[in-house]
Structure 1
Amino acid sequence: MKTLLLASALFAGLFVSLTAVPVPDPAPAPYHAFCKTMLFAGPCTDIKTMLVTQILASSPEYTLVSVVPGFVKANHTSPKTPEGESIIISLNPTILTGGCRMSALSTSNGFTSLFDGGQNYCNLYNLVSASGLMKEPGFMEITNEWACLGYGLATCS
């Protein structure tokens, strides 16, 4: 019964947070690969701290660009993707559960990288995984091929 109640509260919080709080995510250029994807039970300040700590620890692969209330901006480069990707993470509190809805956008900077084999999804997945956020209570990933180009092809390491 408690599990059903918790699941109902999480889904209700997700629904309310998706409809009640508009998030000004930038739209990716149509010729660039992109990925939008997460819901957490913890407060956004804690989620932001864990993400920023991981970005700083993952230098030079990830570089922190800016941190402002509700947003984290970073860049990602690797030998596999030297042109890199821009990452914008939006963090909004959920109304019913007191958790945090993270809307992340990783956009490839290279013109010819429309089909990136899931690289943009892996940028976000690896960052969240390495930060320990996937082990946080109430973690829920919400994405699909429509929201995250290349999601079905991704093999993150």
Structure 2
Amino acid sequence: MKLLLFTAVVFSLYVGTPAPLHASCKVTWTFHTDCASVNKKIVDQMTAWKSADNCANGGEKCLYTIVSHDATTIKGKHTTPVKHYIDDLTFTFIPEDSNCRVQGYSTSETWYAVLDHSTNYCNLNNLITGSGLHQSSGYTETTNDSACTQYSSANCEKY
């Protein structure tokens, strides 16, 4: 394991962009709406994409499971349809005046995962775009390669 972590550090230094040492992604979104509405849309999208049906023609917009949810947090899992890797998801909702700030986090359960072809970013992004939240008034997204594995090369139609 030490060799794997050392390799990840060397690789991130080599490419010139620091990256998480484990396949994961942290994203912050802002929506000009109440957190209850945003929460509901994400829960509804996870429920709609529970089965493998939506991935029959490719992509990974399927196999989401809600582990728990309340007004401030959604915890879930996403299983990749081909290799059946499992990623843990967390959405945390923070009301701010008339806005809702949402902190999203996705991380691979596979202990040795370092690079992920932006899968952890897409786990989160697919729910935001699938629910239409990216078209909401006041929508912003904040992340980068140092907070989100391979973010700049994301292909969420594939992952």
TM-score (normalised: structure 2):
0.75
- Count of residue pairs the alignment pairs up: 126
Distance 2:120 2:82 in 1: 12
How does 1:1-150 map onto structure 2 within 5 Å? 32-37=22-27, 38-60=29-51, 61-95=63-97, 98-150=98-150
Deviates more, 1:49-58 or 1:71-80: 71-80
Gaps of 5+ in 2: 1-19, 52-62
**Offset, 1:127:** 0.7
Contact 1:75 1:87 in 2 (8 A): yes
Matched with 1:11 is: none
Contact 1:32 1:109 in 2 (8 A): no
Structure 1 residues 6-30: Cα deviation after superposition (integer angstroms, max 9, x where no partner): xxxxxxxxxxxxxxxxxxxxxxxx7
Deviates more, 1:51-60 or 1:72-81: 72-81
RMSD: 1.3
Secondary structure at the counterpart of residue 82 of structure 1: coil
CA 1:81/1:47 → structure 2, altered by over 3 Å: closer, same or farther? farther
**Deviation beyond 3 Å, 4+ runs, structure 1:** none
